[in-house]
Structure 1
Amino acid sequence: MQNNTFSGLFVGHNLITLNEVDSTNTFLKDAVSKSTPLLDGTVILAEKQFAGRGQAENSWQSEPGKNLTFSILLNPFFLPVDRQFELNKAISIALNDVLKKYFPHSAFIKWPNDLYISNKKVGGMLIENIVQGNKIRHAIIGIGLNVNQVDFPANLKNITSLKQELHQDYHLIGLLGEICSSVEARYLQLKAGSFIKINEEYQHQLYLRDEWAPFKFDGKIQSGKIIGITEIGQLILETEDETRIFNNKEIEFLN
């Protein structure tokens, strides 16, 4: 359905709300694969998502009606496949821009796809790209944000929500509008070629950047300091002996 309450140019103007779905990313991927005509910036919002996915097939658990679980369709045909992490950086900054309105000194981007408030996870995202030639034809951006949920499964550690931190309820659609406007602004910045500025902001907002902290890699716990991200999205870690580069799942944060 059309939604004209969002202030941006296109992200969120076509908002499709589902009562229940396995995964908004899967729903959107299926629609795109069947050539369903969907506008650039279409948002699929789920009241209940029973098989939400995180990075590298991690599950995303969310209490129905309390949080934001949605996917955005973008068509970044201007972006070569070998620069796909630029989109990850732009969307991460966009989400953190919103969180910084509420947590100006404690909102961070945890590499590669999580959103943190101090030392606790408040959200995350999963970007799935559909490639045509050497360009990205469609990007399906799944986002989960803990908003009004305060009870979490005991096995989930270091997790929080906006309400748990600030002790008040938030209007989900209003917050979704803020996120869509922020995503659109950063996406247009990326489209305009502002790669250097986006990279600088992303690196500056990294969780544990330039801080010595414990990590687990090579089968043991070691001390390291994040000093940056490579062009293709690998983590650069300074250890006591050398500088190392890691892909996702090759290193575990222990904070």
Structure 2
Amino acid sequence: MLIVKLNATDSTNSYLRKLSTEETIGDYTTVIAKKQTQGRGQMGTVWDSQASKNLTFSVFKDVSKLHLEYPFYISIVTSLALLKTLQFFSISRLSIKWPNDILSENKKICGILIENVIKQNNINASVIGIGLNVNQTKFNNLPKASSLKIISGKVFDLDEIVHEILKNLEYYFLLLEKGDYDILKNDYETYLFRKNKPSTFKDEEGIIFSGYIKGISESGNLQVLLEDDIIEEFDLKTITLLY
């Protein structure tokens, strides 16, 4: 397993994608940057992180042999690997804010950005970008952000956390390769933030509405029980969970 460490790059996802087009790289090749100048989150958001205090890295995963009908399982696997890692380091009150933000005590500590490499209409590989707030203690104008140090009071070794994440990614991808879809989906839904609690949402037209999160579909859409007792599915572009 190759681990490339950079002092700075625009985006570890972009760096790893470019590397994969220029040469054949091995499974779980990982690029870690002390600083990202253009770190990205879901839906074009910016991932802001203090240099050398947090983890900003990307992992190359060959999924060509999986023949995935539902690519969202890559996101499920990654989320569960991160949860298992954080539990190992005694981080409490963990949940997954759909689709794949990791929360502790209702504060965001980790974001995931997955970019798939498509060949001949099939997903050939995934570049899994992870931003984890570790030893940073101040987040200006980000009241919903936290870090492992804020939560635990401890200073963490970044390399130790990376190795634990990679070990757990391998474990959960093995479950995916074995076809244990129900186990993965059920585990993910167990940690789903605000599941079965009254929640407020905003749709793509800016309309605010209420409902109860019930779970996810196989394709990763959020299933919400609305006021008229109808369960409706929403994809990432059509709904935002307000909390």
TM-score by length of 1: 0.90
Q: Identity over aligned residues, as a percent?
A: 36
In 1: Cα distance, 2:92 partner to 2:34 partner? 31
2:85 is aligned to: 98
Say if 1:129 and 1:137, in contact at 8 Å, map to a contact too.
yes
Q: Does residue 50 of structure 1 match 2:37?
A: yes
1:165 is aligned to: 151
Give the AA of the match of 2:238.
E
Q: Does residue 207 of structure 1 match 2:207?
A: no
1:124 is aligned to: 111
2:20 is aligned to: 32
Question: Deviation per CA, 1:140-195, whole angstroms, max 9, x where unpaired?
Answer: 000000000011121x2311000011111100001111111111110111111111
Shift of 1:105: 4.9
Say if 1:78 and 1:135, in contact at 8 Å, map to a contact too.
no
In 1: Cα distance, 2:3 partner to 2:201 partner? 40
SS of structure 2 residue aligned to 1:249: coil
SS of structure 2 residue aligned to 1:83: coil
Give the AA of the match of 2:87.
K
Shift of 1:132: 1.7
2:180 is aligned to: 194
Say if 2:91 and 2:151, in contact at 8 Å, map to a contact too.
no
SS of structure 1 residue aligned to 2:156: coil
Distance 1:105 1:161, change over 3 A: closer
SS of structure 1 residue aligned to 2:69: helix
Q: 1:80 aligns with which of 48, 61, 67?
A: 67
Give the AA of the match of 2:12.
T
Say if 2:92 and 2:104, in contact at 8 Å, map to a contact too.
no
Shift of 1:127: 0.7
2:170 is aligned to: 184
Q: 1:66 aligns with which of 36, 40, 53?
A: 53
Shift of 1:43: 0.5
Q: Does residue 243 of structure 1 match 2:242?
A: no
Shift of 1:99: 1.7
Give the AA of the match of 1:91.
T
2:130 is aligned to: 143
1:7 is aligned to: none
Distance 1:103 1:48, change over 3 A: same
In 2: Cα distance, 1:136 partner to 1:157 partner? 37
Question: Deviation per CA, 1:206-236, whole angstroms, max 9, x where unpaired?
Answer: 1111111222235333221110111111111
Question: How many residue pairs were aligned?
Answer: 241
In 1: Cα distance, 2:188 partner to 2:153 partner? 29
In 1: Cα distance, 2:5 partner to 2:194 partner? 36
Shift of 1:243: 2.0
Shift of 1:104: 6.1
Query: Which stretch shows the higher mean deviation, 127-136 or 211-220?
Result: 211-220
In 2: Cα distance, 1:161 partner to 1:239 partner? 34
Q: 2:218 aligns with which of 218, 231, 235?
A: 231
In 1: Cα distance, 2:6 partner to 2:67 partner? 32
In 1: Cα distance, 2:127 partner to 2:201 partner? 30
In 2: Cα distance, 1:149 partner to 1:219 partner? 33
Shift of 1:82: 3.4
In 2: Cα distance, 1:224 partner to 1:161 partner? 29
Give the AA of the match of 1:198.
L
RMSD across aligned positions (CA): 1.5
